[in-house]
Chains A and B, each alone.
Chain A
Amino acid sequence: MSIAKFIDSVKESLGLDEFKKKGKKKSIKTLLKKLEDRREKIQKALGKKLDKKEKKALSEELDIIALHIKEGEKRLDRFNNR
């Protein structure tokens, strides 16, 4: 066994790379879940009767959250494809 292979097997057996990757993936997944919940709440709120200012603020929030979710999904895909 070459040194490189030996090192790879040590890394693999200790799960050093996977551990880090899993942590990051989990953190993005949790954030995405929170954002989706928030989006749902805003959508529900927008269905109710609101004044113009409130409606404008919520719509703006909804647009921002949609962009965040899109970016989060992209990042998750990048992790999965690595």
Chain B
Amino acid sequence: MLKKIFLPSILLVLAYGFWISPDFKEIAAGVAIFLFGMISLEEGFKAFSGGTLENILQKSTDRLHKSISFGFVATAIMQSSSLVSVLTISFLGAGLIGLTQGVGIILGANIGTTTGAWLMAGFGLKVKISAYAMPMLVFGVILIFQKSKSLKGIGYVLTGLGFLFLGIHYMKEGFEAFKASIDLASLAVDGLKGLFIFIGIGILATVVMQSSHATIVLILAALSVGQITYENALALTIGANIGTTITAVIGSLSSNIDGKRLAGAHFIFNVTTAAIAVLIMDQIMYAVDVISTSIGIAEDNHTLKLAVFDSLFKIMGVVLFIPFIGKLVSFLENTLRSDSSKGDKDIDHALYLNDSVLEIPATAMAALTRETRHLYDNAFEIIAHGLNLHRANIVSTMDLEEVIKVSYSQNAVDIDDFYNRRIKSLYGEIIDFASRAQSEMTPEDIESLYQLKLANRDIVEAVKDTKHLQKNLVKYSTSTNEHIKEQYNTIRIGLAELLRNIDIIGTSDEEDEIILLLSKAKVHTERYDILANGTLDNLIRNGLISNEMGTSLMNDSAYAYDISKKLIAMAESIFIDVDNKMILSDEDVDSILEKKDDQ
């Protein structure tokens, strides 16, 4: 209900304001242009988020101080804490970073936003920055129309900066003209009452504009022309910091659990810091005066003093919070739990796929790759049990001849039940997510996504083939006929070897080892061609197995062959870097097999 009234009310208030005051219209237009600039800037940086940003993020968040520094630097460069938050939520959702690192980045981003105030106070209000805006807009728009992703990105960044500068110019002009007709400073309220009123206005302005950065720039513009008092500006700044968390909390309502936890951390951090700032306001103001004097800021330069206050207030908050980050993370993890009402608890669901990672193609792809591995882990369990083997033995260093001697169960496990619980819904969720992610992707990304979809299909089909294979495998691997038993155990050893190798591949960083193991697997898969290598003929001709056994063996060897082929193709897709796909071709495999036969 409130949501429905909110937007029309804002529009009405604005329309009335424009009608009665052209100066207000100019200020509002400045804010609108500024916000549009921020959207454009975010769009531009997103274009670069396909590789470099992710690499930096992953490498620079392994320690808390690194996470904080990353948040600071990224926000200072991009001038948008909301973009950094979106990226952080995305990475959290994709499982690439943990909540502690995420909170670290948010803390750093909070300090990073202070650079905006410094730039605006030290440069934006003194130099005619609108002069830089026009060329930036022209160059930016030309670049936006280019095909290259990087040039488009540069174009958006330039256009974004151009609009930011233009927005600041209009806000400043608007306030200057406004001053001639109405003096807002006359409405200033002193004391604690004034502090709370202006904190409230700061919160409201930020919630309306969805950007604390824009609020602080607006505060600075008003302060520079004396439309508000220095004390009230400080209160507005505190309000802007609370307001930004409310924006984040509202935004996180539609996000996944990680997004909610991160928004929770942001809220707790900013509100606590604001409360402390209110309690020790006099002391902070005194510290601001001391710092300002020591770095040569004039007593009456309130805009720069506001930048000092903004920095001091935020740095103080981060320093106070650092010792409690661990506790904050545990508190959030315990308080905000993932939705367990997602149907039957026995049914496995996606771990990494959520709307927050859809925002950036690279994280959507990373999440899908991780989810494919999750699907494979489930498939591995089913295939291992279908072969009547223990998973732990397969991934151990135990000799494979020994591995097959230890049965998982006396009876055949119910693969259908396993499939319904561990594969079916998960696979459906992956395919659904992949289809949605596709709309944001470039043709190259879509090609990689297609490969991932194929890998998922291969996993599912390998499970289905295992079901067919299992029927006779359980029967004949314990048969009294040693010959058929040997053949079925050879199949079990072969598939166990493949599963073991895929496990090694999944945990290895050595690319040479990975491609070697996969190529070997490809060569070894050919052993299932029992028609071509004469094994079947030999067994039947010599009366070692019955015709019925022969038919079963022929069919099941084909299933084993298919399972191997599909799992190798899957591993090739999800474990090997595209640039280093040097797995043997079918001709290469033939040449190695021919050489073997000659020996």
Contact = CB atoms under 8 A, between A and B. Distances in A.
Contact of A34 (B148, B512, B577, B584): B512
B577 A27 contact: yes
B151 A68 contact: no
Contact of B516 (A16, A27, A64, A75): A64
B154 A3 contact: no
B579 A60 contact: no
Interface in B346-377: none
A55 to B, nearest CB: 10
> Among A11, A59, A60, which residue has the most Cβ atoms of chain B within 10 A?
A60
A11 B515 contact: no
A11 B148 contact: yes
Contacts of B592: 60, 63-64, 67
Given A10-B151, A10-B154, A27-B579, A68 B142 contact: no
Interface residues of B, number: 26
Nearest to B587: A67
Contact of A64 (B151, B154, B510, B520): B520
Interface string B560-599: 0000000000000000010110101000100110011001
B447 interface: no
Interface residues of A, number: 26
A71 interface: yes
Interface string B408-445: 00000000000000000000000000000000000000
Interface in B526-564: none
Interface in B123-176: 142-143, 146, 148, 150-151, 154
A28 interface: yes
Contacts, number: 66
B519 A68 contact: yes
B151 A71 contact: no
A65 B584 contact: no
Nearest to A63: B592
A64 B142 contact: no
Contacts of B142: 3
Contacts of B596: 56, 60
B584 A38 contact: no
Contacts of B395: none
Contacts of B582: 31, 68, 71-72, 75
B446 interface: no
Contacts of A34: 510-512
B516 A60 contact: no
Given A16-B150, A68-B582, A61 B516 contact: yes
A72 B588 CA distance: 14
Contacts of A10: 143, 151, 154
Interface in A27-65: 27-28, 30-31, 34-35, 38, 56, 59-61, 63-65
A28 B579 contact: yes
B523 interface: yes
Contacts of A38: 512, 516
The 7 closest A-B pairs by CB, nearest first: A34-B512, A64-B519, A71-B582, A24-B579, A16-B150, A67-B588, A35-B512
11 contacts: A7-B148, A27-B580, A28-B579, A60-B592, A61-B516, A63-B592, A63-B595, A67-B584, A68-B512, A71-B582, A72-B582
Given A10-B151, A65-B516, 7 more contacts: A14-B154, A27-B579, A31-B582, A59-B599, A64-B584, A67-B519, A67-B584
